[in-house]
Amino acid sequence: MPLTVGPGSISVAVTLGANTAHHYGFHVILVITGLLAIALIGASIYLCYAFADGFAGILGNTGMTIIVRISAFLLVCIGVQITWNGVSSLLSSLVFRVR
């Protein structure tokens, strides 16, 4: 899965992280909830990978095709968001002068 392994995960994390607000300051609750979110995501990824063979057997070929297409659609949506953010930042940095 490209969102959990390889350079795709790094590029998505950097790009989405660069477009978030950074005015929160340091709060212990934010750090604790961030660490809890990381632990929950890590546990869910581990469980998904641990039971992937059994789950694929249950779904069959048609179910796996549907899952692959849905994940590809989600990746396209992330790519569109990254492109949209880049183009809007570029256009907002340009100065148009009308004479």
How many structural domains are present in the chain?
A: 1
In-domain check, residue 44: yes
> What pLDDT is attached to residue 43?
93
> How many angstroms separate the Cα of 3 from the Cα of each of 20, 32, 50?
19, 24, 17
pLDDT greater than 80 at residue 93: yes
- Judge whether 2 lies within some domain: no
Residue 1 lies in a domain: no
Residue 99 lies in a domain: no
| pLDDT attached to residue 24 | 67
Give a yes or no: residue 21 inside a domain: yes
Encode pLDDT of 23-73 as tens digits.
667 788 888 998 999 899 889 989 988 998 898 899 999 999 998 899 888
Higher pLDDT, 13 or 41: 41
What's the domain range around 60? 7-93
Are residues 9 and 2 in contact, defined by beta-carbon separation less than 8 angstroms?
yes
Residues 33, 26: Cα–Cα separation, whole Å: 12
Rounded to whole angstroms, what are the CA distances from 89 to 14, 19, 74, 93, 97? 16, 10, 23, 6, 18
